[in-house]
Amino acid sequence: MPDFTDALKPAYDGAATLAGERAGSNIDADALSKHLLSRDGFLERQNRICKVLEGEKLFDKSQQMNLSRPDRYHLGLARAKAIRRLVHKHSWDHEDAKMAEYLTDEMSPFHLHLTMFVTTIREQASDEQRAYWMPKIMDWSILGCYAQSELGHGSNVRGLETTATWDPEKKEFEIHSPTLTASKWWNGSMGRTATHAIVVAQILIPSPKSGSALKSHGPHPFIVQIRDTKTHLPLPGIVVGDIGPKYGYASMDNGYMLFDHFRVSKSAMLSRYATLDDSTGAFTKRGHPGLVYGSLTFVRANIIMNARLVLARAVTIAVRYSCVRRQFHDRDEKGAGPEMKVLDYPTVQIRILPLLATTFALHYTGEMMFELYGSTRESIERGDFSTIAELHSASSGLKSLCTTLAADGIETCRRAMGGHGFGGGSGLVGINADYLSKPTVEGDNWMITQQVAAYLIKKMTTAVEKPDSPPADSVDELFQMYIRQRDHRIPQNAIHGTNIDDKAIVEIFQWRAADLTYRAYRARVVDKKSWNSLLIQLHELSRAYSEQILTTTFHRAFASTSSSSLSAPTPSVLRTCFRLYTLYTLSNSPLPFLTSLAVSQPTLDALPDTILSLMSELRPHAVKLVDAWAIPGYLLDSALGRYDGRVYEDLYDRAHRKNDEMNKTVFNVDWRSEEVVKGSGDDGKRILSKL
């Protein structure tokens, strides 16, 4: 119903404000968008798919936050099925379907089917197994998930309790959950959706010499049917269901599953890199032992590549809103001028602008990880496993760092926006809750850094013992250089008055990483300290090494953009982003840089003023820089982050016109009556029935 509020306008014109911000920067946002997001036709695909989804009522997001958790799964399943129908209707390819899921912005119950499930079959199944399973996967006659994590074990894959015992007489495996903590747990798509699962279980095989003694051959993946494809009920011997409410992922049926001596054929064992001889019971593994974790590495690589877009969404909202929002007057300004834009306060800039710079650091590192994963997979296909250790190390360390930066960054943006950042119109409620899983899933961020540290200590050991051997990669080069120069190190000056030495910044980050590695090597290899006593030190080493990767790849990328198609002033603004990201990172943890002799004290002393100066340089371009991430309004779903700046109009519209279930219901607030809804006469029975 129309009312007098329809004619009211905000005190400040948000649309004019953002138009003025854009006019104040001569960055070509479209050209920067193409530079960032041109791979695989991302921008064209995003625009094309977004138009389709916005025309479908089922994909309307305006009321989904009001839905209960069971209803969110119902909606998620309906949308997942609808996307498959749209694939056929519009002849979409796989990348189009992935884009639809990305824009829908909820974890689809079908998500694991074409990620970890199909990746495991493609990478670890034999040719015969792939020939049998891939057609079923690609025509969606089965739906898959990946069942590795258990109630009692997550990061420690070697500690999994589910067993797969070989029966040499029946030529079958018996999959069993011997304990409650052996229950598969957290596995996405498993609770109510999947018909099949990749089940990772400890292979137990009778000893040829003693038929009763079982020998463990470690965790191995099996493909197992868990539900009847017609009735969709669990198969006998399997208990499976949804684990219940979570922080986020309301639309995903994360599940639990236990097996009671459940038998599968020998062909269920994925056998590209492992074989079992029927007659002798001999179990043989081929290739690198890390291959069993190939699906995890795939997921970690994708998490790293996605971190930039996740953080960019939060920063886009924060930058736009902080330009529109005005609070207080400048204390030193005379006269009654307008209130200051919130983003003009250094206390807001220091929270948002370094995160804006971080989005670009994450982008270039994500591109590096994309190339590293692709080249490593090509090498593995050729039978060359030499780069697996590097991939495992980089993916583990960067997954830990990048998800920490993104998750913490989302929350920092929310807090920087004040009270409205807490509201549903912020556009951060869903992304904040959903992304909170990333620092713990697919390897806890504190635990998986041990893999990085172990890799680096091994590399440093080689550098110490064989300092003149030909370096195999850039890590060997860095460590050998460190060994040669450590006894006569001169701390680097990166700031000379108003001049900043970018190469010196890179060298500072690299030296710190090398020095922390050497200290870990001394503690572990020379002093023989226990691994457990070093865990905090090793975590700090992993972060330092990963920050060095972000710094090096960012510098390499912006250095090359000066000769690319990007016109001025974009390359110089990217340089400012590089400097702000690196120097802000340095300022947050200066002690290791100082004690390692990586950086000089004068450089540390100059950081506060330099960071303020860099933020002042970046501030006029902030809106154009977030525009360059080209995030559609449909995906943002944010009143605060609207491209047109109509923040307050949208907030009021969501509250007054789109909140019918609350605002059109008349409640009985008399405490003497049990009735909740006025005139219902239900004496509160409706709400009681839901408990």
> pLDDT tens digits, residue range 132-171?
999 999 999 999 999 999 999 987 889 999 999 999 999 9
Whether the pLDDT of residue 632 is over 80: the answer is: yes
Whether the pLDDT of residue 614 is over 60: the answer is: yes
Residue 91: predicted pLDDT:
97
Mean pLDDT of 213-224: 94
Q: Are residues 182 and 328 in the same domain?
A: no
Which domain does 58 fall in, by range?
38-106
Q: How far apart are CA 176 and CA 357, in angstroms?
A: 50
Mean pLDDT of 518-528: 98
593 Cα distance to chain centroid: 28
Residue 563: predicted pLDDT:
46
Please report whether residue 589 resides in a domain.
Answer: yes
- Tens digit of each residue's pLDDT (9 = 90 or more) over 328-387: 988 888 777 788 999 999 999 999 999 999 999 999 999 988 888 888 878 877 777 777
Q: Are residues 168 and 194 in the same domain?
A: yes
Residue 608: predicted pLDDT:
97
Sign, CA dihedral 256-261-264-266, equals: positive
- Which residues carry a binding-site annotation? 188
Burial state string for 525-562 with b = 16 or more CB within 10 A and e = fewer than 16: eeeeeeeeebeeebbbbbbbbbbbbbbbbbbebbbebe
Q: Are residues 148 and 93 in the same domain?
A: no
Yes or no: say if 157 and 200 are a contact pair by the CB < 8 Å rule: yes
Q: Are residues 212 and 300 in the same domain?
A: no
- The radius of gyration of the chain's CA atoms, rounded to the nearest angstrom, is 28
Catalytic residue among 442, 507, 547, 617: 442
Please report whether residue 181 resides in a domain.
Answer: yes
Residue 431: predicted pLDDT:
93
Q: Are residues 74 and 188 in the same domain?
A: no
Yes or no: say if 416 and 348 are a contact pair by the CB < 8 Å rule: yes
Residue 246: predicted pLDDT:
94
Mean pLDDT of the chain: 93
Q: How far is CA 10 from CA 360, 421, 645, 652, in A?
A: 34, 18, 11, 10
- Which residues carry a binding-site annotation for FAD? 188
Q: How far apart are CA 601 and CA 507, in angstroms?
A: 16
The torsion region of residue 108 among left (phi > 0), alpha (psi -120 to 50) and beta comes to beta
Q: Are residues 574 and 665 in the same domain?
A: no
Which of 177-181, 392-396, 587-591 is the least confident region? 392-396
Looking at the chain, the whole-number percentage of residues with pLDDT higher than 70 is 98
Could you give the 3-state DSSP secondary structure of residue 130? helix
Q: How far apart are CA 648 and CA 58, in angstroms?
A: 27
Closest CA to 154 of 109, 106, 215, 219: 219
Q: Are residues 313 and 433 in the same domain?
A: yes
Q: Are residues 330 and 466 in the same domain?
A: yes
Question: Which residues are registered as beta bridge partners of 667?
Answer: 677
Q: How far apart are CA 173 and CA 16, in angstroms?
A: 68
The total number of structural domains that make up the chain: 4
Could you give the 3-state DSSP secondary structure of residue 112? coil
Please report whether residue 635 resides in a domain.
Answer: no
Q: How far apart are CA 312 and CA 626, in angstroms?
A: 7
Report the 3 state secondary structure along 568-604: CCHHHHHHHHHHHHHHHHHHHCHHHHHHCCCECHHHH
Closest CA to 300 of 152, 452, 196, 190: 452
Active site residue 442: yes
- Tens digit of each residue's pLDDT (9 = 90 or more) over 83-100: 999 999 999 999 999 999
